[in-house]
Amino acid sequence: MSPLVLMLTGFVGFFAFAAVYYLILWLLWRREALLAVFGTECAIRAAMCVIFVALFTSESAEGAERAYRARYAVGSVMYFMSNWTVALFTGARNRWFLGTLSVALLAVFAWQVLVAPMNPRVTGVERSELGGWGPVAAPRTAPAGWGFLMFMIPLYVSNVFGFYCALLCARRSRVDGALITFATCVTLSATVGEGLRVWFAVPVPVVPGALAGGFWVPLLALLMARDRHYATDALAASDRRYRELADAIPQIVWIADPDGAVTHLNVKASEYTGIGTGELRGRAWERVIHPDDLPRVLDTWTEVLRTGVPQVNEFRIRRADGAYRWHINRQVPSRDGTGAIARWYGTSTDVEDLKCAQAELADGRERLRTAVAAARLTPWDWDLRTGALVSLEFENQLGYTGAEVPREYARWIELLHPDDRDRVQGEIRGHLDGHRADFSVEFRARHKNGSYRWLNSVGAVLRDETGAPHRVLGCHIDVTERKEWEVRQGELVRELERRNAEMEQFTYTVSHDLKSPLVTIKGFADVLSQDLASGELGSAGGDLLRITTAADRMMSLLDDLLDLSRVGRVGGPLVPVVLSEVLGEALERVSGPARAAGVLLRVSGSVCGVVLGDRGRLVEVFQNVLENGVKYGGGGVVEVSGVVASGRVVVSVRDWGIGIEPRHRERIFGLFEKLDPKSPGTGVGLALVKKVVEFHGGRVWVESAGPGTGSTFVIDLPGHDTRTEHTL
């Protein structure tokens, strides 16, 4: 066969073979029969080897080498590389044929470059590590559609015809891609996507029988490409959703690298600060932090980056209008497969309004607490469903602390005075049942020190939608002082009533006792006047004596009344008085009348003690009591004894006279009261004793078993250390 015929046959055969080959691949690709694409490719390439060896080899083939490598990058761009090395026979004819074949192949590939669509993601192809000569075809952007490209740079070295084929698979409807084939005998690199450089490695020899390998390696690469395609699509969609979500959030959302430099901010950051997000990246965000807060913020952020433990931080951020507002900052780390922090996600939330509301709430609570404390109120909250009773101020009111404070209604009831429990529980039940619109009850509650405090409890029930009570709110008011005042008022009222009764008795007695001497005086004055008129003066002396006696009696009565009225109104400051000296003076004053009546005055033991009072008035007290014993003692013995105990001085005056019936024990201390109307005296003495003793803070009473058993008058006075000075 002549060289010309051989060349034409090879050229036509190869051209037809290439056309059929790429047509089949293109049709299969359009139908997405990807496995068939690679299976067909492997079969056709194997057939090419067989044909080339059978037609053009005069010697046995030195061998065939075949290798595949797969590379893929961003944007669902997949790369497949295959290397064919065919050892051909030597000789001029073979070289001539290979040269002609190379020219033919170059023409086919050049035609494909001009007419086939291209992938705009591939931005350039360059040659490196050149092992020979040959031009490099640079791709260009082409219209959208389906297709494939082949770039071939032939190289004739040592009778070896080789080429590298890289297959880029991508469906334009998904990633705007195309089927591209690169063929060259030198190492190529391509810049793909967003600046990613992909290197095509030197061929790796494979043992004979590579037909199966030639099928499975592209298949594995195809599966990897498909997964990468879906993964990158999902990643892009996820990233898009994240950005849309971050921009929709009313908070500042940020992302930082492991070193703490901000790499992304949402739209809210720019809108809030008035600064573009690009100007806030890195460490530029520090300029919008309040200067007073920045050192603390940086220290906290440094600690978070060092430990990897998130912290909540509050600081002020400058708004677009220049106002600084409080934000709360939170962050969370995202870790890679090794556990290392890959990035930080964080948010900054404006809490200025919340902090203002919290401050107002705290101020309101403080004002309420002050008002409650000033009003001495104890708020309480009773949950009817659980029985829990909460009262934060209970400690201040009744002295209980911690676990001592009753937390349940049943424990609280136990603190009430036994006489008040049934009444209080009845009031509560009546209010809960709706029988009483208002809940207000007063009761006594036991203080921690054992005493009882009077409380006034008021409250209101809360009902659910069915009308059933579920909660009661109210407060306790300590009314102990008011109750004590009411008791004192009651005592004062009773004292006033007693005094009014005494005044009535006094008026009656005075009118009677003063009228009697006046009647006597007037009667004997009339008799004396008649005797003088008739000249009969024999009885004049007796009449004058009766008039004088009546006048003296009236004078004595008036003096006693005047003396009684002065008690508590006229006098000087009270001073410490030695009681033994007071008793000594009183005994001396009564000693004369006692001897005349044949009564023995006897002091039993040592009457000691000091009282705070008016010495003269106290002498009158003991003098009156001693005179009463001498007068009604029946001529026996009047014994005086005393004892000092518990800060009190108690003096007893005992006689063995006529005695007193129990029903008259209080009466004898009344004004003008005399058990024996015929007995001498005005009936003012014991009333004066009672008034003076009570003024000194003491008590006086009489003890007697009855008539004929004698009487004991007991005077109980406080020691001077328990009294403050006041005037008599």
Neighbours of 584 (CB within 10 A): 14
Superfamily covering domain 249-356:
PAS domain (3.30.450.20)
Q: What is the DSSP letter of 502?
A: H
Distance from the Cα of residue 432 to its chain's centroid: 31
249-356 with 375-478: one CATH topology? yes
What distance in Å separates the CA atoms of residue 66 and residue 81, rounded to the nearest whole number?
A: 11
State which residues of the chain have pLDDT below 70. 1-15, 17-18, 21-22, 25-26, 28-231, 392-396, 402, 437, 502, 505-506, 508-516, 556-557, 560-572, 671-683, 721-728
Taking a C-beta distance cutoff of 8 angstroms, is the pair 172, 146 a contact? yes
Q: What is the DSSP letter of 200?
A: P
- Say what the pLDDT of residue 570 is: 46
| Token pair listed for 73 | 């990058």
Bridge partners of residue 600, in order along the sequence: 637
- Say what the pLDDT of residue 311 is: 93
Nearest to 702 by CA among 688, 715, 691, 684: 715
Q: In terms of C-beta density within 10 A (0-12 exposed, 13-18 middle, 19 or more buried), how is residue 341 classed?
A: middle
Strands (E), 74-116: 77-87
What distance in Å separates the CA atoms of residue 692 and residue 621, rounded to the nearest whole number?
A: 7
Coil, helix or strand at residue 185: coil
Q: What is the DSSP letter of 268?
A: H
- Say what the pLDDT of residue 76 is: 25
Give the chain's radius of gyration (CA, Å): 63
Q: What is the DSSP letter of 202?
A: P
Taking a C-beta distance cutoff of 8 angstroms, is the pair 171, 141 a contact? no
Coil, helix or strand at residue 122: strand
Count of positions (residues) in the chain = 728
Taking a C-beta distance cutoff of 8 angstroms, is the pair 266, 247 a contact? yes
Within 13 Å, how many C-alpha atoms sit on residue 222's CB side?
17
User: Residue 401: left if φ>0, alpha if ψ -120 to 50, beta else—which one?
Assistant: beta
What distance in Å separates the CA atoms of residue 387 and residue 428, rounded to the nearest whole number?
A: 14
What distance in Å separates the CA atoms of residue 25 and residue 28, rounded to the nearest whole number?
A: 5
DSSP 547-591: HHHHHHHHHHHHHHHHHHHHTTTS--B-EEEEHHHHHHHHHHHHH
- The letter for the amino acid at 74 is V
What distance in Å separates the CA atoms of residue 695 and residue 717, rounded to the nearest whole number?
A: 10
DSSP 139-193: P----SS--EEEEEE--EETTEEEEEEEEEE--HHHHS--EEEEEESSEEEEEET
Helix (H) or strand (E) holding 447: none
Superfamily covering domain 571-722:
Histidine kinase-like ATPase, C-terminal domain (3.30.565.10)
CATH architecture of 479-566: Orthogonal Bundle (1.10)
Taking a C-beta distance cutoff of 8 angstroms, is the pair 82, 167 a contact? yes
What distance in Å separates the CA atoms of residue 623 and residue 629, rounded to the nearest whole number?
A: 10
Q: Per-residue pLDDT tens for 54-65? A: 444 333 333 322
Coil, helix or strand at residue 479: coil
Which residue ranges make up each domain of the chain?
3-232, 249-356, 375-478, 479-566, 571-722
In CATH, the number for domain 375-478 is 3.30.450.20
Taking a C-beta distance cutoff of 8 angstroms, is the pair 415, 446 a contact? yes
- Say what the pLDDT of residue 687 is: 80
What distance in Å separates the CA atoms of residue 708 and residue 281, rounded to the nearest whole number?
A: 116
Main-chain dihedrals φ then ψ at residue 74, nearest 5 degrees:
-70, 165
- Say what the pLDDT of residue 346 is: 93
Kindly compute the dihedral angle of the four CA atoms of residues 189, 192, 197, 201, in this order, to the nearest 10 degrees. Answer: -40
